[in-house]
Amino acid sequence: MPTACRAAARLFGLPVVSADGDRTPLRTGSVDAAWCLGVLDTVRDKVAVLREIHRVLPPGRPWGSWSSSPGPAGRPSD
C-alpha cells in the first residue's frame, strides 16, 4: 500500500495518507476531499470506513469511491 500511495501522490501532486480506514490519524473535519480507489472492496467493515470518512470531512466537502467488484445486482453491464 505505501507504494500505491507514493504513486498517487506523484500522479496527482496531492498529500496522501495511508492508514487503517476505520481510524485515521486525521483531525475531525480536517480533510478537504477524500477518494477511495478500490478501498471498500477490500475492507470487512465498510460502515466503519464510511463513518471515518464522514468524521474527517467537513459537511459539504467532496468524496469519491470507485469499485471494480460487482455489487449484489451483478456487473453494471448485466
DSSP 25-55: SPPTT--S-EEEES-TTT-S-HHHHHHHHHH
Does 47 reside within a domain? yes
What pLDDT does residue 29 have?
96
Does 76 reside within a domain? no
**Over 90: is that where the pLDDT of 65 sits?**
no
**Over 80: is that where the pLDDT of 74 sits?**
no
Q: What total of structural domains would you count in the chain?
A: 1
What pLDDT does residue 47 have?
92
The grid coordinates listed for 22 are 476505520
Q: Which domain holds residue 37?
A: 2-66
| pLDDT single digits (tens) 6-61 | 888 898 888 888 788 888 899 999 999 888 877 888 888 999 999 999 999 999 99
Q: What is the pTM assigned to this prediction?
A: 0.71
Report the CATH number that the domain containing residue 46 is assigned in CATH.
Answer: 3.40.50.150
Does 21 reside within a domain? yes
Does 78 reside within a domain? no
What pLDDT does residue 55 have?
96
